[in-house]
Structure 1
């Protein structure tokens, strides 16, 4: 274990060193591309090399596919470093079965085999099926037949673990409506099972328990009204948001009742100081990760790179539209910086002018207005000077005149939309390193307490981008 701890620390150190070198790139907001001249912040050799690049080639290098484009050595070195230090995102042990094959194994009763997949979308089917197999395997090795699922939602995972895999299960969900719906789906399952199966099947069903609880600290978990057959249990979490994942790890360490944990995290942007860092080692380092870097670490890199490789990137023009609009708004009135404009998807018939008109509807802006004189501009600026940014929805604050000339200038900048895509792709190439540090912090936290722990990718990253599970067990 000492060797594993040292390896983890070394990887964290090296990853943070790279991140610190490229903080300037990770911390860029796409919508500020034209405001802050992001393109000219790239190294000169990168600008010259990538200015006219076919975006398909960017998709190739992002997904480690062969490419005939000769990239700058410094960029190739960065990509290779991220690959060497980052946690693997593909798992050769991932079950090669589609959802219909998985459904065939859900029950010996053919009439109810599809019940586990009813009301479940494709992405969730994949996650629930794979996670259920992982959890059941760890439960058997831990000699534990009970699990608690945090952020259980509609109860799809606990339902499969209970009715198919015969584990005692409890789901904890903060939204009351989801908890009530989960109970209804349990009853629906049992009703259908009684219709199509033998009489001896239904008495042996382990109906899940559903709790409607909001958790703020791990000590709350000590007071759950669990039945006696769930005195010892495993903790599981399928994409618990923000601090909830670290909270579960803390409870696993502190409670003698918890025998194992399987948790797949997500929503790193919602992390607070309580959720990162949690390992003693990282707390002593300057390992802070900005909100923007944690946000990019939540993106779907495989799906994005695949779209580039297939030439499906025309819809990315909307990022350039938003960035050009941002420059117009900020130059017109700094109080409009990062204003909450309407979110729009790109279509072939969506011109920049039309985009602007639709995007600012939420801000009550008249778009565009005729050019105004300097005296009018001065008077208008004076009228908004005393209003705080929190009042951006007020009509009298936001009804500033934006001229057709300014819209035309923005349209010229939109022609650089490929540069916007290039910079965004470079940021995305660094994202796995940020996620690696976040996950290794959690791994190291468990190792520091003398318990074995591992991280492995279990989901298809194209379906479920946050695909790493942390698995830890206490000695039997």
Structure 2
């Protein structure tokens, strides 16, 4: 089965998934100090000394482009080493690259996909009415993911889609108006729902305007009879799938459309009425009411960059809800996932009343699978999961560009040392971003930073100590790069755990690097269909 613009990677068997999970956990457990460390503590915790002495000698004098070529770029060939590297360092780099799921980064050197070569801000493969208000990265994502969802709908003969975490509705509009799917969009932020509704109306107006221009044409654009349906609500990770289905019955009415501006009475399960779809049958039901087990229409569930536990929640609903035929899951914000060590991250609350008897027992966002949960050393810290969200490809470009922006790594680590001198109890205080920090002398950066944490901005700074720290700026970047090398490994373990969870639930899945990683860092989509789909 095709994945829209590419092909599905071969599925791993159940045994291959477990074997890979064991290797990932074993590898990460040997180097926990790297992904768990905070680069701002480079000086206060003497992080450089935590590296093997052979590594220190090999890495201490690397230029930034050498760091990119010799450590981070998986596609780099014919590496030229300025010195003999220890076998342990070579094995570390090779294992990190070898265990992580391939992100399919291109070697052409172009930052943007081919669809943006003519115009850097407009995808040549997406209709202009779907590009308004949409940044290039999102244009790239909604076209590819929307096409993949359409293929799942064709595979299952199911034209209804539920888009959770829909934001301003860019993906929703493309699937509804562009692909003819009947879409219910669920979003917790009421302001985003209002914006999505407004953009729906703008798109409909644009369609009407184009049709007026083509009145004499024999093939005007078919106007949709109904916009996507927007539901304002937070999907509680601890709630049952029955509660989720009931939630889909709430929210606002569909956006008015057509010249009359009369609100149609259709429900979120109305027949498809998109630009690319045919009009519904006149006898189709306008509303099915609350959906119970064994009743109501089936649908495909999708979430584009569903944050934290939301991705895990959608996978559980997919497994346990009989109405969900398939799912496409693009995750993000791994640091917000609930874990055994932190089972109640902000926003996770218990639903009112007893849980439904058929609901999946809530464990954690990680690990989801019983197998990974039973592996010794499977813990992933908040810092490790936060690091897995970093854009590796973007960092490689920065290194090859000379690395001026990377000066702030060293600046913040230096500032942490001076803050600790004045306030030993103040650790890793947030100072927020200091604008154009890399262009400032450290003394000015420190003055601004100290004031933000409530310290005297004129705190005396030893010039010799400042100079000595600045000389170690390259080592700060190297250490950060070593920890960043493990980011794809951590992400692979989180996603593999979800694949194993689905396998334990009797569902095969595939992990597709659907987006260009140079353009969209969280580029994997987890795809699954029910066995009868």
Cα distance in 1, alignment partners of residues 46 and 124 from structure 2: 55
Equivalent residue, structure 2, for 1:160: 174
Structure 1 partner of 2:379:
288
Q: CA deviation at 1:193?
A: 0.6
How far is the alpha carbon of 1:403 from its aligned partner?
2.3
**How far apart are the structure 2 equivalents of 1:241 and 1:23?**
24
Rounded to whole Å, the distance in 2 between the matches of 1:242 and 1:459 is 20
1:258-289 CA-partner distances (Å, limit 9, x unpaired): 01000110100000032111111112223110
1:173 maps to 187
1:302 corresponds in structure 2 to 393
User: What is the CA distance between 1:157 and its match in structure 2?
Assistant: 0.3
Match of 2:80 in 1: 68
What is the deviation of 1:148? 0.7
Q: Gaps (5+ residues) in structure 1?
A: 107-112, 369-401
- Residue 375 of structure 1 corresponds to none
Assess, with a 3 A threshold, how the Cα gap between structure 1 residues 352 and 95 changes in structure 2: closer, same or farther: closer
Would the aligned equivalents of 2:305 and 2:330 in 1 still touch at CA under 8 Å?
Answer: yes
The Cα RMSD (Å) is: 2.3
State the partner residue of 1:403: 460
In structure 1, C-alpha distance between the alignment counterparts of 2:397 and 2:140, rounded to whole Å: 20
Number of residue pairs matched by the alignment: 434
Q: 1:310 to 1:3 in 2, by over 3 A?
A: closer
Q: Does 1:8 align with 2:20?
A: no
* 2-structure distance, mates of 1:470, 1:356: 44
Q: 1:271 to 1:246 in 2, by over 3 A?
A: same
Q: Secondary structure in 1 aligned to 2:67?
A: helix
1:243 aligns with 2:309: yes
Instruction: Indicate which of 204, 213, 228 corresponds to 1:208.
Output: 228
Report which stretch shifted further, 328-337 or 157-166. 328-337
1:439 counterpart = 2:495: yes
* Aligned-pair CA distance for 1:78: 1.2
Q: Deviations over 1:111-144 (max 9, x none)?
A: xx31100001111111111111111111111211
SS in 2 for 1:172: strand
Instruction: Give the Cα–Cα distance (whole angstroms) in 2 for the partners of residues 157 and 100 of structure 1.
Output: 23
SS for the counterpart of 2:13 is helix
1:222 is the counterpart of 2:245: yes
**Structure 1, residues 347-380: CA drift from partner, whole Å, max 9, x if none?**
5641111110011222232222xxxxxxxxxxxx
Contact 2:158 2:298 in 1 (8 A): yes
Structure 1 residues 327 and 123, CA gap change in structure 2 (3 angstroms): same
> Aligned to 2:45, which of 30, 36, 52?
36
Task: Output the TM-score relative to the length of structure 2.
Answer: 0.77
TM-score (norm 1): 0.86
- 3-state secondary structure, aligned to 1:450: coil
What SS is found at the alignment partner of 1:229? Answer: coil
SS at match of 2:331: strand
Change (3 A) 1:342 1:157: closer
* Alignment partner, residue 50 of structure 1: 59
| Aligned: 1:459 with 2:515 | yes
2:328 corresponds to 1:262: yes
Q: CA deviation at 1:462?
A: 1.3
Q: Secondary structure at the match of 1:78?
A: helix
Q: Tell me which moved more, 215-224 or 293-302.
A: 215-224
Which structure features the higher share of helix residues? 1
Report whether the alignment pairs 1:417 with 2:473.
yes
In structure 2, stretches of 5+ residues that fail to align are 1-9, 107-111, 250-266, 272-296, 340-363
